[in-house]
Structure 1
Amino acid sequence: MLTLYGVPGFGSAISEVMLAMTREPYDFVNVEGFDQPGPQQEKLIAINPLCQVPTLVLEDESIMTESAAIALMLLDRHPQFAPRPGTPARDRFWRLLVWLVANVYPTFTLADYPERLVDEQQAQLKANAQRLRKTYYQWLEQELGEGPYTFGEEITLLDAYWPVLRCWGPGREWFAANTPKLNAMADNVCVRVELETVLKANKLL
C-alpha cells in the first residue's frame, strides 16, 4: 500500500485528492510541524532528506515527491484521468500541470518563507509574491472553458488542484469574485461523493 506523509490542508492535500480520485488505497501519516525543528521534522527527514510534503512512499519503499510527478505516476496506473493522448486537450493538460508547479507554487514559498531568501524587506517580498499569484490565477481563468471541469465533462487529475488552491491565499472570497470559472470547477470537485472524506479531512469543504 502507498503511504502519504503530509499535513491536512498543505500541499499534500492535492496529492491526497488525486489518490482519492483514482481510488488508490493509501495510509496517511500526519507530519504537522515538519517545517520546524522537532520530532515531526526528524521523522520526515528520515524518509525524505528534502523534508517536504507530499512525500509518497511507494509499494517498493521508494520515494515519490512533487505533486506533478505523483500525478504522472498515477496516470500510468489510471490513464482515464487525463485527456486522451494525441489530442490538443492532452497537450493543454501537460502545459497547465507543469505551469502550476513552475509558476504558482513558487509564490507560496516566497510568501510563506521569505526568510529563506532575504534578510531584509521580507514583508515586501511576501506582498509582491501574493500580488503576482493573483495575476497568474487571472491568466488561468482566461484559459479555462465553461466546465464543469477543466477539460469539460470528465474530471482529470488537474482538477484536484482547484479545491486546495482556493483555500489558500488570496482565499475563497477573492476566487469567487475574480475567477468565477475556476471557483465553479472547485465547487464541482467538492460535491463528488468519492472525495467527501478526503476533502473534509483537509478542511476543503
Structure 2
Amino acid sequence: MITLYGVPGWGSAISELMLTLAKIPYTFIDVDGFDQPGPKRELLKARNPLCQVPTLELENGEIMTETAAIALMVLDRCPDLAPPIGRAERQQFQRLLIWLVANVYPTFTYADYPERWAAEAPEQLKENCIEYRKSLYLWLETQLSAQPYALGREITLLDCYIAVMVTWGPRRPWFEVNTPGLVSVADAVSQRGDLQQVLRDNKLI
C-alpha cells in the first residue's frame, strides 16, 4: 500500500483526492510541523531531503514527490481521470496541470516563508506574491470549459487542484467575487460522496 506523508489542508490534500478518485489505497502519515526542527521533519527528511509535502512511498518502496508527477502516476493506473488522448481537452488538461504547479505553487513558497527570500522586506514580498497569485487565478477562470468541472462534464485530476486551492489564500470570499467558475468547480467536487471523507479530514468542507 502507498504511504502518503502530508499535512491536513496542505498540498498533500490534492494527492489524497487524486488517489481516492482513482480508488488507490493509501495510508496517511501526518507530518504537521515538518517545516520546523523536530521529529516530524526528520521523519519526512529521511524520505524526501527537500522536506516537502506530499511525499509518497510507493508499494515497491520508491519515493514519489511533486503533485504533477503524482498525477501522472495516478493516470497510469486510472486513465479515465484525464480527457482521452486525441481530444482537444487532453492538451488543455496537460497544459493547466503543469501551469498550476509551475506558476501558482511558487507564490505560496515565497509568500508563506518570505523571510527566507527577502529578509529585509518580507512583508512586501508576501504582498507582491499574493497579488500576483490573484492575477493567475483570474486568468485560470478564463480557461474553464463547460461546468460542472474545469474541462466539462467529467471530473479530472485538475479539479482536485481547484477544489483545494479555493480554500487557500486569498480565501473563498475573494474567489466567490472574482472567480465564480472556480468556486463552482470546487463545489461540484465537494458534492461527490466518494470524496467527502477526504475533504472533511482535510477541513476543506
- 1:90-129 residue pairs with structure 2 within 5 A? 90-129=90-129
Partner of 1:38: 38
Q: Provide the C-alpha distance between the structure 2 equivalents of 1:68 and 1:99, rounded to a whole number of angstroms.
A: 10
Partner of 1:141: 141
Q: TM-score w.r.t. structure 1 length?
A: 0.99
Q: Provide the C-alpha distance between the structure 1 equivalents of 2:93 and 2:127, rounded to a whole number of angstroms.
A: 30
* 1:27 match: secondary structure: strand
Residues 146 and 181 of structure 1 are in contact (CA less than 8 Å); yes or no, is this contact kept in structure 2? Answer: no
Q: Provide the C-alpha distance between the structure 2 equivalents of 1:71 and 1:52, rounded to a whole number of angstroms.
A: 16
Name the aligned partner's letter for residue 19 of structure 1: L
Q: Does 1:78 align with 2:78?
A: yes
Partner of 2:66: 66
Name the aligned partner's letter for residue 63 of structure 1: I
Q: Report the alpha carbon displacement of residue 146 of structure 1 after superposing the two structures with TM.
A: 2.9
Partner of 2:12: 12
Q: Provide the C-alpha distance between the structure 1 equivalents of 2:161 and 2:189, rounded to a whole number of angstroms.
A: 10
Aligned residue pair count: 205
Q: TM-score w.r.t. structure 2 length?
A: 0.99
Q: Which runs of 5+ in 1 are unaligned?
A: none
Q: Report the alpha carbon displacement of residue 118 of structure 1 after superposing the two structures with TM.
A: 1.6
Q: Which runs of 5+ in 2 are unaligned?
A: none
Name the aligned partner's letter for residue 149 of structure 1: Y
* Cα-Cα RMSD: 0.7
Q: Provide the C-alpha distance between the structure 2 equivalents of 1:83 and 1:145, rounded to a whole number of angstroms.
A: 13
Residues 144 and 150 of structure 1 are in contact (CA less than 8 Å); yes or no, is this contact kept in structure 2? Answer: yes
Q: Provide the C-alpha distance between the structure 2 equivalents of 1:171 and 1:146, rounded to a whole number of angstroms.
A: 24
